[in-house]
A = this chain, B = another copy of it.
Amino acid sequence: MSNSNRNRLNLSAYEQGLLAQDTLILSRAITLLESKLESDQLLGDQLLDRVMKYTGNSIRIGVTGAGGVGKSTFIEYFGQLLVKKGKRLAVLTIDPSSQKSRGSILGDKTRMESLSKDQNVFIRPSPNAQSLGGVGMRTRESILLCEAAGYDVVLVETVGVGQSEFIVNEMVDFFLLLVQPDSGDELQGIKRGIMEMADAIVMTKVDGGLESKAEETKIALQNASQLLGVRGDGWIPKVLLCSSKNKRGLEEIWQLIRDFEQKMKASGYFNENRIHQREYWFYAYVQQILEARFYQNKDVKNKIQDILPAIKEGDFSPQSMARNLVNDFLNQIVRD
């Protein structure tokens, strides 16, 4: 996480390194963005603005699913298929439950052993576990940097703790939900709202005699997803079966994603979604940065500590306390 000035390159070095597809520079550029130092953040912003014109050319794929569903194995084999097709692949992983960045990096490299050795693959965990969705999380910007560095496919993997899928959904073109064949009980584990976001549901581990159970689950999933109604973009989410072990179903998944990309580009929804996402992130960042400045303020911190118990007990109106606090904050800045 620490990113002292000593280790920092200048703007042109970052830019040229990215365009030269130097993975070490890409890695350091992402670290720059993740830094908590104000000077690093400003340099990171400048870098992003500089490379914006080289971004946008990948297909961005979100991959989620509960723990144990086989995400790493799926990405390992699906990634190999993409590499075989001549793609350069970036895998960004978000694990809000992982606290140590170093451990997490090693973990991912072990999890995706073959991919991590491939020179056409870049794997990077989002180390900043606590600030998921906060200003410290830079997955969306990491996608842009990977695109500037020439990656054709960017996979964003999340374990689905908290709100992480909703955030990932706002940064990808295609959203893939992985589930296991296991009828009712397994489906109950699918978190609220996740199924609605899925552009495809892929059933993993369909091998070793689980084929008939998989067909049952498929029907249950299709029924459940029919309850969700027609989407604005006209896409009908598909349920696909795969076995990473037997390398079955992977090609179909890639074809489905290509089909999605073609249809959405033809109808204009692909670009519309990206425009919407850029606008979404602008307003989201305004909110994040405003709130960060507010909650980092010492006076604000102390006052909240003082008044929160009374608010929770209902002694004061949350609204009047909030207004006082914001007004005091803005007035205090005047005084400084």
Contacts and interface: CB of A to CB of B under 8 A. Distances in A.
A322 interface: yes
Interface in A305-319: 308, 311-319
A288 B315 CA distance: 21
Per assembly, the copies of the chain total 2
Contacts of A279: 308, 311-312, 318
Contacts of A188: 226-230
Given A192-B228, A314-B52, A282 B322 contact: yes
A187 interface: yes
A284 B42 CA distance: 28
A164 interface: no
Interface stretch (A112-120, A235-243, A326-334): A326-334
Interface residues of A, number: 63
A197 to B, nearest CB: 9
Interface stretch (A18-26, A85-93, A290-298): A290-298
B282 A308 contact: yes
A196 interface: yes
A287 interface: yes
Chain A, interface SS category = helix
Interface stretch (A43-51, A204-212, A247-255, A256-264): A43-51
A106 interface: no
B317 A45 contact: yes
B282 A323 contact: no
A323 B285 contact: yes
Given A282-B318, A289-B323, A312 B275 contact: yes
Contacts of A229: 188-189
B193 A317 contact: no
A190 interface: yes
A282 B333 CA distance: 22
A193 B196 contact: yes
A3 interface: no
Nearest to A326: B289
A129 interface: no
A56 interface: yes
A290 to B, nearest CB: 5
A260 to B, nearest CB: 20
A190 B333 CA distance: 47
Interface in A267-285: 274-275, 278-279, 281-285
13 contacts: A45-B319, A45-B320, A52-B317, A55-B314, A141-B319, A184-B226, A224-B224, A278-B311, A279-B308, A281-B318, A287-B291, A290-B291, A290-B326
